[in-house]
Amino acid sequence: MINSLFGIPIYSDKIILNEKEIFYFLNLEYKKLNQEYGYKTKNNYVLDNDSIKNVKNQVLNHLNIFLFDYLKIKKNVNFKMLNSWCTRYETKANANGHLHSNSLFSGVFYIKVNKFSGQVRFHKNNFWRNLLPKCLDVEFDESNEFNGEYWQTLPEVGDLLLFPSFLEHSTLPNESNEERFCCAFNFYLEGQIGGDMNTLKIKLE
């Protein structure tokens, strides 16, 4: 028997998007990113619109399941959505490896994708060596949760992923003739943590 210790959790599930909600996301105002073929919404709070309150509530419900039911965080703290934005990637476009700063947990759901839109990939940090040092180039017959350098999945419409914000991730190139749309967001905690000697009260604006 092998026990997996100190793993990094990635929560995955689905949210339901109706035609009006999809239309809202696809028709937001986008601006070009620095990388070629990539665009981001000018609005950094796209999930605050009342017309898609149902979508935001679904995200919040899944976040509570992830943090309180699976990770068993005590419910004396809350997690507040800091921001939310959509990205649009044309054919051949990809997102380079990045993490989400000034945040504790992040997530993404997919609005318009197909089987050629490109996988999302999560990378093992070079300083996180759970098996062998990076300087040893040992070959493996197959990749798994113990020896892998990354984990990736091909998203479908409605797929939701939640993960710690420090976890680096990227997307592979969009090989489809259609644009790829997704919505990302960040969370930070509010409340009191620590004991008598190290109490910290966090209140977000």
**pLDDT at residue 123 in the model:** 94
**pLDDT at residue 157 in the model:** 98
**pLDDT at residue 35 in the model:** 67
- Over range 157-174, report the average pLDDT: 96
Is the model's pLDDT at 177 over the cut of 90? yes
**Of 101, 73, 87, the residue nearest 165 (C-alpha):** 101
Q: What angle do CA 34, 32, 90 make, to 5 degrees?
A: 100
**pLDDT at residue 205 in the model:** 81
Q: What is the mean pLDDT of the chain?
A: 94
Is the model's pLDDT at 16 over the cut of 90? yes
Q: Please indicate whether residue 101 or residue 34 has the higher confidence score (pLDDT).
A: 101
pLDDT in tens, 77-112: 999 999 999 999 999 999 999 999 999 999 999 999
Work out the pLDDT band at 39, boundaries 50, 70, 90.
Answer: very high
pLDDT in tens, 62-71: 999 999 999 9
- Over range 184-201, report the average pLDDT: 92
CATH superfamily of 11-127+139-202: q2cbj1_9rhob like domain (2.60.120.620)
